[in-house]
Amino acid sequence: MKSNHIKNILKLLVFSFTIISPFSVFAHAIMVKSQPEQNAIITVSPQKIDVWFNDKVGSEYKAVAVIDSKGNRVDNKDVQQEMLDSSHLYCTVPNLPPDTYTVRYRVVSIDTHIVTGKFQFTIKP
Ligand SMILES: [Cu+2]
């Protein structure tokens, strides 16, 4: 009875350490800012799309793609990483007509996990 109780406490401890482990939480890249911002409604086409993460990300496997409402990829496929701030990725776009666009990104966190995500912005006439 008593040893069972201790086992349960140990299990709980192991479980909480897994949850708060810095390797599973703090090293995982999260997008913190973008330009255009998420769900922004703008009237002029941006010239580039900027994405910032909470931490630096790897230079391999990075991807930023802009997709129009018909599913066509419209960016210039020229994703770059800022040299002095590796948490910042960007790509350029041609002059975009009014539409709702989805930006998809993929990066490798410093904990080696691949992080993908997306957000939208709208250009109104
Ligand atoms: Cu991670």
- Expressed in angstroms and rounded, the spacing between residue 3 Cα and the centre of ligand 1 is 35
Distance of alpha carbon 80 from alpha carbon 62, whole angstroms: 9
The average confidence (pLDDT) of the chain is: 89
CATH code of the domain made up of 28-123: 2.60.40.1220
Q: In what order do the strands lie in the sheet with 63-67?
A: 40-42, 114-123, 99-108, 63-67
Cα 25 to middle of ligand 1, angstroms: 6
Q: Are 63 and 118 in contact (CB under 8 A)?
A: no
Q: 114 CA distance to ligand 1 centroid (A)?
A: 7
Q: What is the pLDDT of residue 28?
A: 86
pLDDT tens, residue order, the chain (125 aa): 566 676 776 666 665 555 555 444 567 899 999 999 999 999 999 999 999 999 999 999 999 999 999 999 999 999 999 999 999 999 999 999 999 999 999 999 988 999 999 999 999 99
User: What pTM was computed for the model?
Assistant: 0.79
For residue 42, how far is its CA from the centre of ligand 1 (angstroms)? 33
Q: How far is the CA of 78 from the centre of ligand 1 (A)?
A: 26
Please answer whether residues 66 and 73 qualify as being in contact, where contact means their C-beta atoms are separated by less than 8 angstroms: yes
How far is the centre of ligand 1, averaged over its atoms, from the C-alpha of 87 (Å)? 15
- The 8-class DSSP code of residue 57 comes to -
112: tokens are 């080696």
Alpha carbon 80 to its chain's center: 14
Distance 14 CA to ligand 1 centre (A): 19
